[in-house]
Amino acid sequence: MQIYGCKKCRLWQGTKHAVPGEGPLNAKVMFVGQNPGADENEVGRPFIGRAGKFLSKTLAENGIKREDIFITNIVKHVSPKNRKPFDDEVKACLPYLITQIKTIKPEIIVLLGASAKETPRIEGIEYIQVIHPSAAMRFTKMGERFRQQIAELAKRIQQN
């Protein structure tokens, strides 16, 4: 995949692994975060750190198997000190996400946190915004709301 050798923006510099995303190519649900973090950079897999484990646990509690969803980020390399990706970095990387969306054709895209807002909107796909799991695991009220949001998502998936 082109992402592994990509140097279209500065973010690849100093990284160990690109993190393209993972999950079945026929997934009905896609999750999109902002960028990979330090844990993800170590192994090249998305959402495997504390926030990712919290997300997987909450999904499982609601009967959603993580292995059934495709999970990725807007940019595919970790950013220095986990800073927000710059606009030009997002712009450079978005074609990969657009290709992933068009290939997978999910029915639902779940945006993880407000920072995933740059995810392109494609007609016919339902977009659902949830609290980012890293905030949900740190703040009680956000955690409660996040659990509700994932429970609502689980119901929505069952309706499809």
7 binding ligand SF4? (CB under 6 A): yes
User: Which residues lie closer than 8 Å to 155 by C-beta, 6 or more apart?
Assistant: none
Binder among 32, 51, 52, 89 for ligand SF4 (CB under 6 A): 89
109 binding ligand SF4? (CB under 6 A): no
Residue among 9 and 150 whose Cβ is closer to ligand SF4: 9
The region of 87-95, 100-108, 127-135, 145-153 touching ligand SF4 under the rule CB under 6 A is 87-95
69 binding ligand SF4? (CB under 6 A): no
Task: Count Cβ atoms below 10 Å from residue 76 Cβ, excluding itself.
Answer: 30
92 binding ligand SF4? (CB under 6 A): yes
List the 126-130 sheet strands across, edge first: 70-73, 29-33, 108-112, 126-130
Token reading at 36: 């990979």
Task: Determine the Cα–Cα distance for residues 21 and 34; give it in Å rounded to an integer.
Answer: 12
Nearest alpha carbon to residue 131 among 58, 61, 62:
58
Distances, alpha carbon 79 to alpha carbons 27, 65, 149, in Å: 27, 29, 28
104 binding ligand SF4? (CB under 6 A): no
Q: By rule CB under 6 A, what string of x and - marks binding of each residue 17-56 to ligand SF4?
A: -x--------------------------------------
Helix (H, G, I), strand (E, B) or coil at 9: coil
Task: Determine the Cα–Cα distance for residues 52 and 132; give it in Å rounded to an integer.
Answer: 10
Binder among 52, 69, 76, 101 for ligand SF4 (CB under 6 A): 76
84 binding ligand SF4? (CB under 6 A): no
Would you tell me which residues interact with ligand SF4 (CB under 6 A)?
A: 3, 6-9, 11-12, 18, 75-77, 89, 92-93
